[in-house]
Structure 1
């Protein structure tokens, strides 16, 4: 049996609050000026080839260039799956407890764990989006089958019990 060269690594990204709230969509091209009602719990799973640049753009720009979010990659490349969210519930100490579980499904249907960890465990940034503290990095080698992969993320607000699930397709080509 051939060993697949795909690597999914659970990593922690720097804590970066975003100072505006807004509608979340797959390529984040909408302005982040829409206001959601109090208690709204929302998130988006985004695939990006440059996690650091994505984080910097999320803070500095009212609109994000589509180049920072991708839905395809070539063999020999890598991509990071990051989560942005808003509206976590707080416990008695005023802190959130949001966790994320990641997995990847190959074109053949094989599911691979990507890890899990704390997405946010601090006070929420009022009225704003948050870049979560958990992400996964995916690297594709020459032996990985081309085709459509699915990056899966389950986000759970442990204080409120609310849960969101995401299935973001990623096409691997030659």
Structure 2
């Protein structure tokens, strides 16, 4: 093997081994510093998922589709009576199957102020090739509207996300206040 080819092969091997290390540590900030997990940001190895709420799903999806990199998500922690609020799940590090496709699925539920947990629905977040290193915006979501009787109450949105290929399951939650 000539010297240039050997150097190129060594560089490829080094790159191959450095990519998993960059993602295997969970959440990191822009400088690479480890971040603690939060109830709405979970990881299992290199599989990272974040649950957010938005009051304008169409604008979020448009911005995400047009962005050259991961856009900053405008998140909501409260919603007005009668106004819609939608779950948004972004993730990275899904494991592709032998055909090169990730299979990520989510189930959504809500916990009422009295502690009652209600299943809201489920759906496929992603069944396509991964876009790594970019985060992917899941295609499944749930949109809710609240009535006057819910005003002043706090609910908890739950998303149970599964990477079906790697058999990794994460449960995320975020509070939601009705104003």
Tell me the TM-score range normalised by the shorter chain. Answer: 0.7 to 0.9
Partner of 2:72: 64
Q: How far apart are residue 64 of structure 1 and its match? A: 2.5
1:101-157 deviation digits (Å, cap 9, x = unpaired): 100011111222110111111111131100001000011112335311000001000
Alignment of 1:10-159 (within 5 A): 40-58=46-64, 59-60=66-67, 64=72, 68-144=74-150, 146-159=152-165
CA distance in 2, matches of 1:80, 1:73: 10
Answer with 1 or 2: which has the greater Rg: 2
TM-score (norm 2): 0.70
C-alpha root-mean-square deviation of aligned residues, in Å? 2.7
* TM-score normalised by length of structure 1: 0.72
Aligned residues of 2:81 and 2:151 also touching (Cα < 8 A):
no
CA contact (8 A) 2:86 2:141 kept: yes
Contact 1:47 1:81 in 2 (8 A): yes
Per the TM alignment, residue 81 of structure 1 is displaced from its structure 2 partner at its CA by 0.5
2: CA distance, partners of 1:64 / 1:152: 21
Q: How many residues align?
A: 143
- Which runs of 5 or more structure 2 residues have no equivalent in the other structure? 1-22, 35-44
Alignment partners' CA distance in 2, 1:69 and 1:145 = 20
Specify which structure has the bigger relative contact order, considering alpha-carbon pairs within 8 angstroms and separated by 6 or more residues: 1
Label 1:35 to 1:55 Cα distance change in 2 as closer, same or farther (>3 A): farther
Which runs of 5 or more structure 1 residues have no equivalent in the other structure?
A: 1-20
How far, CA to CA, are the matches of 2:140 and 2:127 in structure 1?
11
